[in-house]
Amino acid sequence: MSRNYDLSDPTDLELLKSDFEAISPDEWQEYIDLSLEDGYKKKFSYDERGCLMIARKKALYKGYPSPKQMVWALKLADKMEELKKGEAED
């Protein structure tokens, strides 16, 4: 899902919002929980977990974080998916 968004382009901002909406609050919670598990805890910083929590809160109330926060949250979600995929292959 990883894309490069031009935050000054209205079309890219709409794509960003669409990609953000594609992740449910429950999925954000799963990412938060995963970031707190022993095997993953050191791979995510306090700020990254905070970003995931903001994303979950905004998704829960049908809002949007700032565009930069949305990009960061989506990149973290991609990182989580890669880690889960790598774990499944092992």
Residue 86 confidence (pLDDT) above 90 = no
Tens of pLDDT, residue by residue over 7-16, are 999 999 999 9
Q: pLDDT averaged over the chain?
A: 91
Q: How many CB atoms lie within 10 A of CB 55?
A: 26
Residue 85's pLDDT band, with cuts at 50, 70 and 90, is: confident
Residues with Cβ within 8 Å of residue 11, at least 6 apart in sequence = none
User: To the nearest 10°, the Cα dihedral for 75, 30, 25, 45?
Assistant: -50
Residues 19-48 have a mean pLDDT of 93
